[in-house]
Amino acid sequence: MALLRCDFFSDVLGVGTSMSIILPQPTSAQIGLTGTATDAEPPVLYLLHGMSDDATTWVRRTSIERYATELGLAVVMPQVGRSFYVDEHHGSRYGEFVQDELPALVQRFVRVSDRREDTFVAGLSMGGYGAFRWALDRPERFAAAASLSGVLDLAGLRSARPDLEPVFGPGPVAGTRHDLVARLADVDTATVPRLWAVCGTEDELLPGNERFVAAARAADVPLTWSAGPGRHDWAYWDARIQDVLAWLPLAHRKDTTS
């Protein structure tokens, strides 16, 4: 694999920002690792960081590069600060940046597939919210979306976190476009990407995840859900990202197993 740090200017944000990119590379002489790649444009996973993290943290805290190598999967990890991947009430248009500008820049900078069936999004904590928010806002872009210990009941969290006012504004988010639980009632189940969510049973975000799961089931939104031992930490996420990668509907994996 090739690991790239990409520093670039965002017209939407009006400032320079960064992303980390993992790209497939075929190798035969690398000890302990066999790279997988084809002549086709590789599938791509947009992998979103949490509130205290940045564009480098997934690579620094997990073995995502090694896991993606075996699948011939490109991984794009953008940097968004504490924005929750939305256009901030007082701040920058991170929602527009991630959903519209970022994919266009990725296509300009590197060679990855832009087909829906080859495009996926996942994230942890704040990034879990961002992944599902992006999938619901742009269902035509993704084949699948995954949340690891995600902030899926934002309405409950916002009421307890006054520091989120610059992002979401002074009022409650319940029932607004920011509220993923409320939005499930209006989801078009024919077009929504496949959803997968997981949360540790020792994680304080578990009740919010369970409320999201209940709402998804009530709305007949297809969702794969699991909860098991684990905390809000990198040991848990390093294990669960492997589950996510095994779950992704990679077209070339289907071809090789059919």
How far is residue 100 from each of residues 39, 84, 137, measured CA to CA in Å? 27, 16, 11
pLDDT digits 0-9 by tens, 76-102: 999 999 999 999 999 999 999 999 999
Residue 114 confidence (pLDDT): 96
Q: What percent of the chain has pLDDT over 70?
A: 94
Instruction: For CA atoms 149, 151, 153, 158, give the dihedral sign.
Output: positive
Q: Which pLDDT does position 63 carry in this prediction?
A: 97
| Overall size of the chain counted in residues | 258
* Residue among 62, 51, 119, 41 at smallest CA distance from 85: 51
Q: Look at the alpha carbons of 223, 227, 233, 235 in this order and tell me if their dihedral is positive or negative.
A: negative
pTM of structure: 0.94
Phi, psi of 36 (to 5 degrees): -120, 130
Pairing of strands 119-124, 194-200: unpaired
For residue 180, give every residue at least 6 positions away whose Cβ sits within 8 Å of its Cβ, in sequence order, or none.
129, 132, 133, 136, 152, 153, 154, 212
Residue 31 has pLDDT above 70, yes or no: no
